[in-house]
Structure 1
Amino acid sequence: MKRYSHENRFSFAVDCIIFGYDGEDLKLLVIERGIEPLRGHWSLVGGFIGAHESADDAATRVLKDLTGLDGIYMEQLYAFSEVERDSVERTISVAYFALIDIQKYTAQLSEDYHPAWFPINDLPGLIFDHDDIVELAKEKLRYKAALHPLLFELLPQKFTMPQLQRLYEAVYDTEFDKGNFNRKMLSTHLLLKLKDKDKGSSKKGAFYYALDQERYSQGFKSFLNFVSSQNANK
């Protein structure tokens, strides 16, 4: 194999920021690090990129091997390349964020690395620069969700409007006016109202909704400026 002469060699890795929603809180999936240094400390799901892998392929493999998760929404976030970010050797990490419905994937999680879900605003200390990676992922998620309805990836097949509102409030760490929120959501024409209700939260109950998959697949433009218009109407 030919190599460029007189050039340094680096390690390349992937780190996956896995967001989940349980109907009440936005959460982050972390695992106990399995190697030294800092073995046993909380870490993002991650691993090294193989010699014959792309970063995308490595992220997919790492998610499957370490958590049992497969076929989920995932998007490349950023490359972290600070010289001393890893205390062992120079390691550049390509970060990805993923969105899942916690209830759907609970049974698939591998217990080998002691995975745990923590509320996004009550996280334990993470190794290396993983806290910074999470903060950037939160910013990217807020930005993307203001333009596109990708937060539906966090929801089950059917959900109530209060559950949807709690999700957006958790992501943006703010409160939305109920009436304005409902009107804005319904105006996108992405929701299908179902006949059954969730009667666990009140006597009257809340109707379930489902995502119109065809409209969802056609494009995301119906959510342009969603958050800014919500704030303007508060």
Structure 2
Amino acid sequence: MAAAAAHSLNKLLSQPKAASKSRATGEIDDGTKKLRRMILVEGIPSSIDPTLRPRIWKILLRVNELPTDTYLHYVSRGPCQVREKIRNDTFRTLATDKGFKERVREDMLLLDRCLQFVDPELYGYLRSKNLSAEIYAFPSILTLCACTPPLDQVLQLWDFLLAFGVHLNVLCVIAQLLLMRDEVMASSSPMRLLRTFPPLEALPVIGIAVTLVRDLPPELYDELVKHPFEVVH
């Protein structure tokens, strides 16, 4: 199964590049749609062919050129002299940057609104415990769920997010909540459970997230799609 998927993806990737004049615009769009569909249905079998994920991510991120020699040259230079200063300043900068704080706040409000719509009972229970997304979902929103191991599952989830849009990360966080819903609802102190999410399982999370897309009202989903790209004033 995985070998067949790897063969199909390699065959698709070996087709003429999008810039080729021999391919019509419609064909290029169809190729991208097919790639996304294969990612959703079959996943990227990186264990069979480790080159697939970087090649596919380049396409999804629209990176046309990434010369190996240039990359290795920069890596060989090692850390810059002010590396530690930059690392130390990052936390302080993000904590006080108004634009960053407003962006994160918008993400949290959207998560709360989406959860309230798809599962009002769970939302109401969390609110009764004074728990909002800003309290329990901050790390997952900030890292695109990379704060929850294992890494191979994070990469599989990122395949999905890069293929269909990072806005879906909000729904992926909600999906993780729904997977632990029974335990949360039965707990008198749900924050103990939400402080550290269970190990990530990409396929169930993706499946629930796709279902949630269909459940959300169009105007709320449209807001979700636009929010990563809107400028915060």
> Shorter-chain TM-score: what band?
under 0.3
TM-score of the superposition, structure 1-length normalised? 0.26
Q: Normalized per residue, which structure has more strand?
A: 1
Q: Normalized per residue, which structure has more helix?
A: 2
TM-score of the superposition, structure 2-length normalised? 0.26
